């Protein structure tokens, strides 16, 4: 199994809603990542988890809250988002943080904030 | 800091045409270089990589050679297909850092 699975594929939410994005991998990878991608732009790193501990937070607003319940799962909790947060949110994993250049990406969650 | 510059797209080609997508980089030390591809509605996939100067990465008919003297890693394919239509991202990796992506180049191949 070489897949990173993300759910849901599409999400529409209001600015007062609370929702969560989910990501799962069963490759035994110990590093997991959240990226944000705006249309026609490269992915921007948000968070990195290494061995289930948060290693990098790229100054992301607190309305985005990551969680890594175990080595296979990664969540992104969303609360009080703004319309400018609408984007494709990509989860990725790698064998280890030291191998963070070879990333396996999920298909993403297309988020629209109304 | 490290940076990657790609040619602006879109690049529009007819099927079986020759493809070149330019990529140049600025980095300290000896980075590894990558091409990732993003098909419509999907995440990115690693297409090929090269880890040292003069290495050639290749996959699915695509090739790129790590040229340290020109700090370049241009992507080429001899005969493109409609199914190659996608966005291509050049990236570099320096030890201890995260991947640095270029801006992406959209390729459109017409039948």
Mean pLDDT along residues B6-30: 94
pLDDT at residue B95 above 90? no
**CA-CA-CA-CA dihedral for A7, A11, A17, A22, to nearest 10:** 10
Q: How far is B103 from chain A (nearest CA, A)?
A: 5
| Mean pLDDT (whole number) for B10-22 | 97
Q: Residue A1: what pLDDT? A: 64
- Given this model, what pLDDT does residue B107 score? 97
Asked if residues A19 and A13 have their Cβ atoms less than 8 Å apart, the reply is yes
Task: Give A89 or B95, the one with higher predicted confidence.
Answer: A89
Kindly report each contact of residues B105-108 with a partner whose C-beta sits within 8 Å and lies 24 or more positions away, as own/partner.
Answer: B105/B6, B105/B7, B105/B8, B105/B9, B105/B10, B105/B11, B105/B21, B106/A40, B106/B9, B106/B10, B106/B11, B107/B9, B107/B10, B107/B11, B107/B13, B107/B19, B107/B21, B107/B80, B108/B10, B108/B11, B108/B12, B108/B13
Task: Judge whether residue B91 has pLDDT over 90.
Answer: yes
Interface with chain A: mutation pick from B44, B47, B96, B97, highest number of A CBs within 10 Å: B44
Tell me the shortest Cα–Cα distance from B17 to chain A, in angstroms.
24
Among the listed residues B75, B70, B90, the one whose alpha carbon sits nearest the alpha carbon of residue B19 = B75
Token readout for B84 is 């190659």
Regions of chain A where pLDDT drops below 50: none
Query: Is any Cβ of chain A less than 8 angstroms from the Cβ of B34?
Result: yes
Least CB–CB distance from A42: residue in B42, B43, B103: B103
Say whether pLDDT at B40 is over 80. yes
Mean pLDDT in residue range B26-34: 91
SS3 annotation, chain A: CCCEEEECCEEEECCCCEEEEEEEECCCCCEEEEEEECCCCCCEEEEEEECCEEEEECCCCCCEEEEEEECCEEEEEEECCCHHHCEEEEEEEECCHHHCCCCEECCCEEEEEC
Q: Which of A90, A100, A106 sits opposite B98 (nearest CB)?
A: A100
Give residue A2's pLDDT: 67
Average pLDDT score, chain B: 94
pLDDT digits 0-9 by tens, A2-30? 699 999 999 999 999 999 999 999 999 99
Share of chain B above pLDDT 70, in %: 100
Residues 6+ apart with CB under 8 A from B40: B85, B86
Give residue-wise pLDDT tens across range B59-89: 999 999 999 999 999 999 999 999 999 999 9
Identity of the residue in A42, A101, A105 whose CB atom sits nearest the CB atom of B45: A105
């Amino acid at each position: 199994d070489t897949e990173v699975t993300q759910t849901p594929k599409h999400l529409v939410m209001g600015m007062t809603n609370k929702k969560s994005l989910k990501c799962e991998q069963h490759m035994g990878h110990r590093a997991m990542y959240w990226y944000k991608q705006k249309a026609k732009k490269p992915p921007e790193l948000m968070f990195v988890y290494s061995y289930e501990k948060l290693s990098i937070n790229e100054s992301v607003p607190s309305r985005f809250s990551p969680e890594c319940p175990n080595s296979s799962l990664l969540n992104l909790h969303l609360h009080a988002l703004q319309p400018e947060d609408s984007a494709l949110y990509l989860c990725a994993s790698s064998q280890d943080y030291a191998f963070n250049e070879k990333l396996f990406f999920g298909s993403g969650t297309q988020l629209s904030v109304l | 800091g490290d940076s990657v510059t790609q040619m602006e797209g879109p690049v529009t080609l007819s099927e079986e045409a020759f493809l070149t997508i330019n990529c140049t980089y600025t980095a300290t030390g000896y980075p590894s270089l990558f091409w990732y591809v993003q098909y419509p509605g999907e995440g990115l996939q690693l297409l090929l990589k090269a880890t040292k100067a003069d290495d050639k990465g290749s996959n699915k008919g695509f090739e790129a050679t790590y040229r340290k003297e020109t700090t370049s890693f241009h992507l080429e394919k001899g005969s493109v297909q409609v199914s190659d239509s996608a966005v291509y991202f050049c990236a570099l990796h320096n030890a201890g850092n995260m991947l640095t992506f270029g801006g992406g180049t959209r390729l459109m191949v017409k039948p």
